[in-house]
């Protein structure tokens, strides 16, 4: 059976890409093989392990459960859009500090899951964090350090976003009165 | 694994979808959220020749009131159903069941209509729709028909929808605020399919249970109500002793499957304890 290719135009981490793809090409394989963005990992390829989690139009999605052709016109964010080796994103920094990873295989998915969680809920409870990261399998950490990392990331991002205090309060004199 | 090749169609409207389904519908599958279909294709359990992607068809995800009915568009994503104040107001049972449905990334893509049309026997939402007396709205080129949930779920991955029909909406009768509801489930891990789940609803009329519905997932090859057990609850006083008796009757009535996850005796025991818990929770609401 010959199947015609389809044109796909997507924006990934702010960069526009245009390709001609087979309809059956999974979005995860499109990101990795067509665009060379291998930060998105692939585990089970049937939606169970969560390794391929990305943000598709602002929401987390399993990229192994979507076809690249379906992403035509969409905005995608992957782990490559977070930070760099020399300038880690605050979420990456928190995972590094709290040892929220060992082998690193689930880390891109954990990071993108954390992006969605904190964007919707700037100060998640530990239960809410567990619920969010529980969709991604981690076989190294036992999750405790991941929960701590997400908690720290949320605190830092909230602190960074908090409105700057008036000059008089900067030394802490106004606090607690 | 990778899915087998298929022809991809993305119609712009319902008419386009129905036309595509009318042509060689036996070889065609509807692609909605893809959270059940795509895994099955990746695992090569199914190999449709053609996919009709309905994700960009406008109007299929509306949630609102139509006369005496609360209507949820088939393409509404689980995340959006869960966030909807109207769903919370009119069908709180749906919200309670969603606590057990998959994980956020799956709920972001998956649709309520896709879930129901897929008809997994261990899925929560078919049981919920049975307990709510919902109707499935099916469209084809020969028109529209409405199938009660009671006659919609026929077997594992099998429904009353014909291959040329598109599930466009789910209609739930608006009920009085007197309607009580409970949902209980046991699964191996949060977000997994149910070993057993029960959805219970009844009215309280003059201190008695009336119009009871008891619907189950995980106890047969499709979600099902147990009319004989509902009859035992009809007119009963809403207290623990009556609920315990009804729960015991439910456990006797089912003939649950056995698999690697749970044997029949365990599932039967779950039916008993979850039924009692669901009814007790319902009476307290």
At A76-125, the pLDDT tens digits run 999 999 999 999 999 999 999 999 999 999 999 999 999 999 999 999 99
Answer yes or no: do A23 and B39 touch at CB < 8 A.
Answer: no
Task: Name the class of domain B63-173.
Answer: alpha beta
Answer yes or no: do B5 and A3 touch at CB < 8 A.
Answer: yes
Asked if A1 reaches chain B (Cβ–Cβ under 8 Å), the answer is: yes
User: How does pLDDT run across B113-149, given as a tens digit for each residue?
Assistant: 999 999 999 999 999 999 999 999 999 999 999 999 9
Comparing A17 with B177, the larger pLDDT belongs to A17
Task: Name the class of domain A6-81.
Answer: alpha beta
Answer yes or no: do B109 and A65 touch at CB < 8 A.
Answer: yes
Answer yes or no: do B42 and A132 touch at CB < 8 A.
Answer: no
Per domain, the residue ranges of chain A are: 6-81, 90-161
Q: Which CATH number fits domain B7-53: 3.30.43.10, 3.40.50.10710, 3.40.50.300, 1.10.540.10?
A: 3.30.43.10
Task: Name the class of domain A90-161.
Answer: mainly alpha
Which of the residues in chain B have pLDDT under 50? none
Of A24, A61, A62, the CB nearest to B6: A24
Per domain, the residue ranges of chain B are: 7-53, 63-173, 180-284
Question: Residue B202 forms beta bridges with which residues?
Answer: B180
* ipTM of the prediction: 0.95
- CATH code of B180-284, in short, is 3.30.390.50
- Counting one residue from chain A and one from chain B, the pairs whose CB atoms sit within 8 A come to 87
Asked if B104 reaches chain A (Cβ–Cβ under 8 Å), the answer is: yes
User: How does pLDDT run across B180-208, given as a tens digit for each residue?
Assistant: 999 999 999 999 999 999 999 999 999 99
């Amino acid at each position: 059976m010959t199947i015609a290719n389809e044109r796909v135009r997507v924006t990934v981490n702010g960069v526009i890409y245009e390709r001609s793809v087979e309809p059956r090409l999974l979005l995860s394989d499109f990101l990795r093989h067509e665009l060379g963005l291998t930060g998105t990992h692939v585990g089970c390829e049937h939606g169970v392990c969560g390794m391929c989690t990305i943000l598709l139009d602002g929401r987390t999605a399993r990229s192994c459960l979507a076809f690249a052709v379906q992403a035509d016109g969409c905005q995608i964010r992957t782990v490559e859009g977070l930070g760099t080796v020399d300038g880690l994103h605050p979420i990456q920094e928190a995972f590094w500090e709290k040892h929220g990873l060992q082998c690193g295989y689930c880390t891109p998915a954990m990071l993108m899951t954390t992006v969605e969680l904190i964007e919707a809920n700037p100060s998640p409870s530990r239960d809410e964090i567990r619920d969010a990261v529980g969709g991604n399998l981690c076989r190294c950490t036992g999750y405790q350090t991941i929960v701590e990392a997400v908690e720290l990331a949320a605190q830092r991002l909230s602190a960074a976003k908090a409105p700057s205090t008036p000059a008089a309060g900067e030394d802490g004199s106004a606090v607690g009165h | 694994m990778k899915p087998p090749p298929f022809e991809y169609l993305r119609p712009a409207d319902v008419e386009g979808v129905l036309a595509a389904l009318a042509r060689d519908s036996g070889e065609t599958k509807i692609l909605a959220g893809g959270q059940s279909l795509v895994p099955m294709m990746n695992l090569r359990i199914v190999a449709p020749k053609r996919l009709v992607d309905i994700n960009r068809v406008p109007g299929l995800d509306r949630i609102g009131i139509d006369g005496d009915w609360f209507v949820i568009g088939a393409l509404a994503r689980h995340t959006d159903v869960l966030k909807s104040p109207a769903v919370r107001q009119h069908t709180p049972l749906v919200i309670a069941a969603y606590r057990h449905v998959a994980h956020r990334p799956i709920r972001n893509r998956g649709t309520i209509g896709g879930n129901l049309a897929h008809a997994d026997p261990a899925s929560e939402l078919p049981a919920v729709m049975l307990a709510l007396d919902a109707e499935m709205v099916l469209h084809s080129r020969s028109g529209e028909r409405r199938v009660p949930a009671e006659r919609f779920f026929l077997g594992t991955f099998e429904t009353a929808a014909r291959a040329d029909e598109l599930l466009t909406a789910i209609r739930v009768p608006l009920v009085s605020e007197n309607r009580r509801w409970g949902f209980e489930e046991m699964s191996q891990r949060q977000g997994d399919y149910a070993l057993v789940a029960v959805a219970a609803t009844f009215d309280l009329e003059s201190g008695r249970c009336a119009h009871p519905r008891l619907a189950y997932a995980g106890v047969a090859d499709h979600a099902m109500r147990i009319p004989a057990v509902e009859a035992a609850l009809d007119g009963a006083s809403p207290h623990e002793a009556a609920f315990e008796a009804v729960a015991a009757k439910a456990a006797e009535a089912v003939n649950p499957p056995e698999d690697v996850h749970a044997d029949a005796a365990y599932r039967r025991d779950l039916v008993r304890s979850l039924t009692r818990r669901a009814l007790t929770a319902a009476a307290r609401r």
